[in-house]
Amino acid sequence: MVYVGVVGYGTIGKRIADAILKQDDMKLVGIAKTKPDYEAYIATSKGMNIYTIPNKIKLFEEKGIKVKGVIEDLVTKCDVIIDATPASIGMRNKDQYYLKYNTKVIFQGGEKAEVADVSFVAQANYEEAIGKRFIRVVSCNTTGISRIVAAFRDNGLEIDKIRVFIIRRGADPKESGKGPINDILLNPPTLPSHHAFDVKTVIPNIDILTMAIAVPETLMHLHMVYIMFKKPISREHVMDILYKTPRIITLRADMGFKSIAQVVEWARDIGRTRYDVPENIIFEESVTVQDKELFLFMAIHQESIVVPENIDAIRASLNMLPKWSSIRKTDASLGLVQEGKKYG
């Protein structure tokens, strides 16, 4: 049994904590928060132990939330820490807490690559992370791009170049103070966007360019993907790869899937908690092949796509299971769609 702690219990952290509770080879020691808000109450209602920083203990207790200890107490009790704090806080926590102890740490994509020994996407480079002390699970969009690149690479298709045009959600649903409200933002105004550089930390030596805009919606990101292969391909071969690859789902327009909102409604209807969609969503009719070129639409759920990657990163860091054994175990425990299954 591996003992795991989660530092940061926001959009990503709470989902990872719930995922750890579903693993039969992991035990959640506790979570660390700095605010005694409704999320802290929900965590305690699920039986999670709460840790915080020393000057916040009294504030938690005044709100009736029992504190188990401080963050350093949590770190010393765990084999692995998941750091799901906001961008740049993870590096600060590394210097302040993690370097003092032998605990392994999984960081998130908001941190710079230098925070870790390896940037990680399970399907792309699981083996590189085996035994590493510090692992960085890359961002939602980078995870989605890396998965699809790895799927083609591992099935013998050589990519000449990839171009991804990203329509980003303006904010997570609960981030009421963010925008845009009535605008389309160049995000960023320079090219390429950071996603191209990030993909290269996972899959080096790939010719990739990305560009992104942010729009006034909060549900999911949408990618317009262009890939040129080194040899001619067939649509049938591409679809076969997409059908059989874990963490990729194809949905058909003729079954009602013509928008992001319909994907969200599907997730609700099949009983996904928080309407989470940790898989890449490929809109099947968009998959178009012309000789060596591939075009497709792909949706990425920013709040949940990295959750299975964090679970696999824990196993990789401690060399608990081989790559595909971990991926399949994670997917089964979280109720992800299994490979070889078509939807719609």
Q: Any idea which residues carry the catalytic annotation?
A: 140
Core vs surface per residue 258-277: b (16+ CB within 10 A) or e: eebeebbebbeeeebeebbb
Phi, psi of 130 (to 5 degrees): -60, 125
What single DSSP character describes residue 116?
Answer: S
Residue whose C-alpha is closest to residue 18's, from 106, 77, 82, 70: 82
Other CB atoms within a 10 A radius of the CB of residue 333 amount to 18
To which H or E segment does residue 31 belong? strand 26-32
What single DSSP character describes residue 269?
Answer: H
Residue located via tokens 């020994």: 117
Residue located via tokens 């170049």: 161
To which H or E segment does residue 317 belong? helix 307-317
- Cα 3 from Cα 301, distance rounded (Å): 28
Give 30-35's long-range contacts (Cβ < 8 A, gap of 24+): 30/5, 30/6, 30/68, 30/74, 30/77, 31/5, 31/6, 31/7, 32/5, 32/6, 32/7, 32/8, 32/71, 32/74, 33/8, 33/9
The two tokens of residue 302 are: 């920013």
HSE, CB side, 13 Å, CA atoms: give it for residue 199: 24
The angle subtended at Cα 165 by Cα 217 and Cα 213, nearest 5°, is 40
| Residue type at 192 in one-letter notation | P
Residue whose C-alpha is closest to residue 145's, from 208, 74, 60, 191: 208
